[in-house]
Amino acid sequence: MKLCRNCRTINEDSAVACARCKMRDQLVSYNPEATKEWQTAMHKKNNVALQNVCMNCGTTDYGNSDRCARCRFPLKVKKRDA
């Protein structure tokens, strides 16, 4: 996947310009799993309690919305026990 530095939209690997804002030369490689692994490693290294964070912008997820309050990126919804 590629992430647009201009509007933070995730694009396909084959994209040359952003599908949303049409900007060229703004796409960078993006691997959400690598980002999550890095965040986990930093939290463990610094003895910080893990919190839910947006995988796109890193904002801490406060609330029950299915999208990030800052960048509107879809958040993983956790199922709660009844």
Tens of each residue's pLDDT in the chain, 82 residues: 899 989 988 899 999 999 999 999 999 998 877 777 777 776 677 665 555 677 777 777 655 677 777 787 887 655 444 3
What b-and-e string marks burial along 3-16, b requiring 16 or more CB atoms within 10 Å of the CB? Answer: bbeeebbbbeeeee
What residues form DSSP beta bridges with 50?
Answer: none
Would the pTM count as exceeding 0.85? no
pLDDT at 81: 40
CB 15 within 8 A of CB 28: no
